[in-house]
Structure 1
Amino acid sequence: MRPDGGHYDHEDRDGEYWAPNDAQQNNHEAIVHHLCILTLNDRLYLAPIGSNPKRILDLGTGTGIWATDIADKFPDAQVIGTDLSPVGPGMQPDNVTFEIDDCCSEWVYPDHHFDLVHIRGLFGSIADWPQLYKEAFRHLRPGGYIEQVEWSVHNRSSDGTLSHNTVLARWSQHAIRTGTMTGKTFEIAENMAGLIREAGFVDVVEKRFKWPIGPWSSDIKLKEIGRWNLLNWEEGMEGWVMAGYTRVLGWSYQQVQDWLQEVRAALRDRRQHLYHEVRLVYARKPQ
């Protein structure tokens, strides 16, 4: 975090991605990873890639937590994680490498190279999703898979407790407006299955999951996910909105802080039973 209370951005591509790159964001990314593992019942992916993939690419790898885990799972595979800024030093397996790269630029890898291209949480950061899927298609071997996980910015209620003017409904509206103004949609979760199919992929499978906000669900697993998701929001939300609200929507730093106080209060309101969707899509490049 900067001395003024803000966050450090990605050094090489300032403004390309809305989330900060600092210790607080890195801790938050570990929470998100845990949520995804909970959601997928201790699995890192769902695509039927077989037991012996040779090359795996993780776009927008962040701290490299998913890439590191998948490298541990497949010690004979070459795993590459790419991001706009370097991954910090850590105890990575020998078969994972991290590269500074912009996935929106032309890819430098050979065609027909990867068994799996993995994407997670790049909503709001890609201007041309069809082009990205085209690159993924070109660089996957025939029979290889793309898999993408994104969370919806549309907060919903299970019992009508979220009206149009409530704080967490307006939160969704601000995200959509930011995406419209930047040309980088925050609604890719709702659209990725169709766009992936249009890119030429087949056997497109979409899975939808519910992430409660808070432990209100009577379902044991959803209650646990809700607890972690509340922590996800509380730890992550300043980083989610600071750049977009100040640079795009024209808010001051103090206006953002005042808004976040309202959001924190709304998150803790036990009268609201809120959730948002998480969608996972995987699809195969034809033989």
Structure 2
Amino acid sequence: MSSPRSPRSPRGRASPKSLQSPEGAEQPPDNEPHPTNTQIPFNADDDVDSAIEDDGSIISSTVSLSESIFDYRNIHGRTFQSFRTTEYWGPNDDRQNNGLDIAHQFITMLKDDRLFLAPIGHTPTKVLDVGTGTGIWAIDMADAYPSAEVIGTDISPIQPTWVPPNCRFHIEDAQLDWTYQPSTFDFVHIRALYGSIGDVLKLYRQAYNALVPGGWIENFEFNITMHSDLPEIRDNPDHIFKRWANVFFDATDRMGKTARIGMNGTMRKLMLNAGFVGVVEKSYQVPCGAWSSDKKMKQIGAYNLAFMDESLEGFALFMLTEIMGWEYTEVQLFVLEMRKALRNTRTRPYYLVTNCFAQKPEYAA
């Protein structure tokens, strides 16, 4: 994942370039209209446990990845990558990486056990995974398509060394000018770069250039606002779900990035602006906790809660201390409040994720 280093700016607020088209499109508001749960079945009379229940087995079953060969910055016991051109807000230590691998599990389930939804129509020959993180998607893709060459790029070398022979990892900053020759890849995959890209339109244009005519791009992004249909949460602007999202919108604005990429049809608009056609964008409601009456959604919710439980401190630590100027104890109390609210599955919390795919025209040069 990649995000160029920005100076700390506690006073002014930067306007993310990523949400400004060449015509100067305005930045969307922080919050879309509040959704209503229409995708996650549940029994209103169920007395769901407010704790993780047996979801701890999900956390304990994940495998820690290999240690990095680089030295990392240490912030209150958590390690962060400091690349020569980029500083990423998320930790790169085992705990955060375990969370990323858990997220990969429920994202794949959400896509009906598919690694991508783009209708490629043939076996890809060369695939690029931008911001590969732990490399788990690239490894699974290489296993699924052994005749394809799969390349994963990231600023942090946290990927395992034992990988399929058709899978390689490069340390690269996706926000710099790409060095790949035009028309190199059949498929470009991007996932969870929210809050780390200064110019998403540039990113899409570079992907467009790197794709062969008729090639596909797919981008999956999280939305950081947690929701509940309970009026006491939905209508309360001071609830932790609202305060959590708002402070991170503020922090990423100050960094010159965007945490809004999955909102308001932004990916669809920017892909069209970059020249892609056949754009399909879909949002999914993802439960947090095993409160759904549907077996699949119940399991997705359990994995999601495990992901959040592993990741909350990592989400908050850099941005709130280094960007927003909070004290460490303030961050810990904030994380504790959010964790308690997420574990209260009686409120049936959920959030939205957005998947968008599109094609480079077959007649493109």
Normalised-by-shorter TM-score class = over 0.9
1:219 to 1:88, Cα distance in 2 relative to 1, 3 A: closer
Residue from 156, 173, 178 that aligns with 2:251: 178
Counterpart mapping for 1:1-287 below 5 A:
5-13=76-84, 16-160=87-231, 161-162=233-234, 163-190=236-263, 191-287=266-362
Identical counterparts, % of pairs: 43
CA positional deviation for 1:158: 2.9
Q: Report deviation, 1:149.
A: 0.4
What is the alpha-carbon distance in structure 1 between the residues aligned to residue 74 and residue 124 of structure 2? 45
Which segments of 5 or more consecutive residues in structure 2 lack a partner in the other structure? 1-71
Mark the CA change 1:79 to 1:199 in structure 2 (over 3 Å): closer, same or farther.
Answer: same
- Measure, in 1, the Cα distance between the counterparts of 2:194 and 2:159: 23
Q: What are structure 1's unaligned runs of at least 5 residues? A: none
Moved more, 196-205 or 258-267: 258-267
Contact 2:159 2:169 (C-alpha < 8 Å) held by counterparts: no
How much has 1:159 moved relative to structure 2?
3.8
* Distance (Å, rounded) in 1 between the aligned partners of 2:86 and 2:347: 34
Q: What TM-score do you get using the length of structure 1 for normalisation? A: 0.95
Q: Would you say how many aligned residue pairs link Structure 1 and Structure 2? A: 287
Aligned residue type for 1:175 = F
* Equivalent residue letter for 1:33: H
* TM-score where L is the length of structure 2: 0.75
Distance, in Å, in 1 between the alignment partners of 2:267 and 2:342 is 28
Structure with higher Rg: it is 2
Give, in angstroms, the shift of residue 267 of structure 1.
1.5
Other-structure match for 2:25: none
CA-based RMSD of the aligned residues comes to 1.7
Letter in 2 for 1:123: Y
My pick for the range that moved more, 160-169 or 171-180, is: 160-169
Partner in structure 1 of residue 3 of structure 2: none
Structure 1 residues 62-105: Cα deviation after superposition (integer angstroms, max 9, x where no partner): 11100001011111111110000213433201111100000000
Shift, 1:260, TM fit: 1.1
Partner of 2:8: none
Offset at 1:4?
6.6
Pairwise CA distance, 1:212: 1.1
Q: Is the 8 A contact 1:6 1:242 kept in 2?
A: no
CA contact (8 A) 1:87 1:98 kept: no
Structure with bigger RCO (C-alpha 8 Å, 6+ apart): 2
More divergent stretch after superposition (135-144 vs 261-270):
261-270
- Give the SS at the match of 1:263: helix
Give the secondary structure class of the aligned counterpart of 1:188. coil
1:234-262 per-residue CA deviation (whole Å, 9 max, x = no partner) reads 10111111110011111111211111111
SS state of the match for residue 18, structure 1? strand
Q: Secondary structure at the match of 1:228?
A: helix
SS in 2 for 1:127: coil
CA deviation string 1:153-175 (max 9, x = no partner): 12222343332111122111111
Tell me the alpha carbon deviations over residues 92-128 of structure 1, each in whole angstroms, 9 at most, x when there is no partner: 0111110000000010111011100000000000001
Q: In 1, Cα distance between the equivalents of 2:345 and 2:163?
A: 41
Whole-angstrom CA distance in 1 between matches of 2:75 and 2:346? 35
Matches of 2:118 and 2:302, distance apart in 1 = 27
